[in-house]
Structures are given as C-alpha cells and as structure tokens.
Amino acid sequence: MQNIQWFPGHMAKARREMTAAMKAVDAVVELVDARLPLSSANPMLSDIIGARPRVMVLTRADMADRIQTERWLSHYRKLGMAAIAVDAKSGEGIKQIVPALEAAATLKRERDARRGIRPRPLRTMVVGIPNVGKSSLINRLAQRAVTKTGDRPGITKAQQWIRIGPVDLLDTPGVLWPKFDTAESGYILAMSGAIKPEILDTVDLAMHLVVFLARSYPQIVEDRLGLTPSSLATVDFQSTDDVGLVDGELSNLAIRRGMLMSAARPDVERLSEALVRETQTGKLGRITFEWCS
C-alpha cells in the first residue's frame, strides 16, 4: 500500500481559522461519512471542539449499508453523543438536527439563564472533512442554496454564518489531518471521494476496491461485476502472484465492458476510473467500508 500524506496549505489555514472561531461557538455539528465513520472523523477536531455540545451527523446514509449505519448510531449514542443519519438529497433525517442541537445545549441554556443572559440563536459550527456533505446539509436546513455544493472535495473555501431558525450555523472548509494513521484509511477515503483522484494511482485503488468488495460484499462482486469473489477475497497484496491475479480480473472485466485501447488491449485505467466512480455514486449498491463490531 502507498503511504499517503496530504495536507494542503489552505487546510492548515482553515484549521487556524476554525480554532479561532471556536471561541464564539456554543455547539458543534460534526459530519462523518456513514460509509466510513472512523476514517472520515478528523481526530484534530476533538481537540478544537473541546467540551462543547456535539451532534454527530452521519451523511450519505442512502449510500451506506443500513445495518452498519444503525450499529454506528448505536455506538455513538452509547458514548453519550447525539447521533443522526441523514440523506441530504432526500432530506431524510434533516429535521432532527436542530432539535438535537437544542437538546445537546440544554445545560448551556440553563447556565446562561442563571447568569441573566437572554436567549439568543445557538451559535453552531459545522465541521467535517472535505466532500462529506456539509454544504448540501446546510442548504437543506436553510431550505435554499446558501452555499456551493459539488461532488469533489474543496468546494467550501471560507467560513460563513447562516441563520436557520433558532440556530446560527457557521460553515467551514473541510479539514483533513496531516497524515493518515494507516494506508488503509487513505484508500477508504479515496474510494469515498474525500481525496482528490490524483492523490492515488487509480488502478491500485481499484484493485484494493474489488478485493474489499469480495471480502465484505461478495454478492456485489458476483452480480454487478461478474467476478468470482472467492478467488479475490484471499488476495495478499504482498504477493506478486496475487497482484497479477487481480490485475488479470480487471483486464478481463475491461474486455467484457468493451473498454479497449489499440490492438484490442484492455484499458484497465479507464475501467478503474469507472469502478471508483460507480462506487462513489452508489451505482454498485449500498456499501460501508468500515464495519462497527
């Protein structure tokens, strides 16, 4: 596996700005991708957030394994956190966020009342890694297009406040951490679309993708890709023979899909790009990359 490190300068700046802005914030909505709740949670954010009330929002729930999403929600709730699964496209779960924020900030409201501070909109920061769906969620909450959205990381470039009923939301640019704990986390983030495509070799990523699917979702491999999951599930990427096996499977799939170069050679690069895109758009089905034990 590749050792992946990616911490662009604008993200370092965003971290500094977020730390400074946190002083004016009452509560936090932290977004993680329902398909990879651990790898899409920035460990730096916990230090920045501190003891402020926090609501965990699992985005892209429509693309994740339903059973795994329920297990992750239960996991967060056992830790004492409010947790909600949402689909910003359909709006499912969106209406639960503001009430959850108000409930999470009950102690703060009571403390303010004892000090004679009049109630005001709850100042809430929305945080998360790139391309986790912050802008789409805020637009849904506001019921209008107040932020830019897109299917690639890095759309939000600066902080902005948005009034939504009893809450003032502070949108922030997505922030990754300086390096990933494991190379596996890097692959998972790339599969989900959190990392820009040029960061990783696409064929290498597609190889890891089909092996993961063979182990965790063999039916998808068999039905959607027409590959044999049993042979792929035991692949060891330290073995040259096993890497050759996966490469051969991708070559055969490229031929079956008519993705050919000159002299009828299989275009594995093009196929790999297609497989990653089909995964990121949900075309291959509901997939969760990190399972909750």
CA dist 156 and 154 (Å) reads 6
pLDDT of residue 254: 97
Q: Are residues 27 and 111 in the same domain?
A: yes
pLDDT per residue as tens digits for the range 216-238: 999 999 999 999 999 999 999 99
Domain of residue 143 covers 9-171
CA dist 251 and 268 (Å) reads 6
Neighbours of 24 (CB within 10 A): 11
As for how many domains the chain has, the answer is: 2
**In this structure, are residues 126 and 54 in contact, taking their beta carbons and an 8 Å threshold?**
no
Q: Does 1 reside within a domain? A: no
% pLDDT > 90, the chain: 47
Q: Does 190 reside within a domain? A: no
SS (H, E, C) 251-266: HHHHHHCCCECHHHCE
Confidence of residue 31 (pLDDT cuts 50, 70, 90): very high
Q: Are residues 112 and 220 in the same domain?
A: no
CATH number at residue 102: 3.40.50.300
**In this structure, are residues 119 and 109 in contact, taking their beta carbons and an 8 Å threshold?**
yes
CA dist 251 and 266 (Å) reads 6
Q: Are residues 81 and 206 in the same domain?
A: no
Nearest to 133 by CA among 93, 105, 101, 161: 93
Distance of CA 259 to CAs 124, 202, 220, 243, 268, Å? Answer: 48, 15, 21, 21, 8
pTM: 0.85
* Close Cβ partners of 226 (under 8 Å, ≥ 6 residues apart): 253, 256
pLDDT per residue as tens digits for the range 82-128: 999 998 788 899 999 999 998 888 887 788 788 888 878 889 988 88
Burial status of residue 279 (CB atoms within 10 A of its CB: 0-12, 13-18, 19 or more): buried
CATH number at residue 271: 1.10.1580
- Edge-to-edge, what's the strand order for the sheet holding 27-33? 82-85, 54-59, 27-33, 122-127, 167-171, 160-164
